[in-house]
Amino acid sequence: MAKIISIANQKGGVGKTTTTINLSSLFAAAEKRTLLIDIDPQSNSSSGLSVTNHTPSVYEVLVGTKNINEVIITTFMPHLDMLPSNINLVGAEIEMVDIENREGLLRSALDKIENNYDYILIDCPPSLGLLTLNALTASNSVIIPVQCEYFALEGLGQLLNTINIVKKHFNKDLSIEGVLLTMFDTRLRLSHQVAEEVRKYFGEKVYKTVINRNVKISEAPSYGKPIILYDAISSGAQNYMSLASEILSKNSDNLN
């Protein structure tokens, strides 16, 4: 049975999509059967793996017009499948409001296929709406990326409150998989201060691996590639390899 992990933070630009693309690619490179679910209407996880404007998408799965097995596609990487997004997802939250069990639509869909995978990673939109709620309800745990910049902790309390609400009403087993420090600049005192603040608040939940600010990480999505295929020797690739190793090691006893 798959370990289902959401990557969530309602703040935009914190590295959610970058983390989802690169972790899923590295899990696949480690020969873990992996599914990436793009549940963000911006579809950046999809385009970051060379999948653009794909129809059908996760939208059809959520509103019930397509079976999830009809929508999952293979990617150019062995062991990595995708449930893509497209612009139609923009209106999904409005359409989902009147559907019974609206918070559990993704969970119900994943029940059909989770035994096919070792890991399922969900890229959430930068909001705490019904799409993110579906992702959290379907997940075993959540990774929270936090950028090492001013206002980094702003809104985290709201996210933690949402996680607690989901635990109370929809998914009692949801846990925080880890907190990931992103966009760390070793030259800036602010980066060190934010990292210290996050570690003080979250303690051992903060990953030992830190994702440094790296231009290659920013460039890779425009080529439709994960960082390991774009520039495997860059510091960004090394950071994400270290993170994937840390997560796989932590979960080695939990899989199959």
Q: Which residues pair with 145 in a beta bridge?
A: 180
Mean pLDDT of 166-190: 93
Cα dist from 196 to 153, 247, 250, whole Å: 12, 21, 23
CB within 8 A of 173, min separation 6: which ones?
140, 167
Taking only the tens place, the pLDDT of each residue in 69-97 is: 999 999 999 999 999 999 888 888 888 88
179 C-beta neighbours (distance < 10 Å), count: 21
The strand pair at 175-184 and 73-74 is best described as unpaired
For residue 54, what is the DSSP state?
-
Q: What is the largest CA-CA distance in the chain?
A: 51
Which of these ranges, 40-44, 52-56, 223-227, has the smallest mean pLDDT? 52-56
Residue with tokens 């425009």: 222
Residues 93, 129: Cα–Cα separation, whole Å: 8
Structural domains of the chain, with CATH: 3-178 (3.40.50.300)
Q: Residue 223 above 70 pLDDT?
A: yes
Q: What digits encode the pLDDT tens for the residues 181-216?
A: 999 988 889 999 999 999 998 999 999 999 998 899
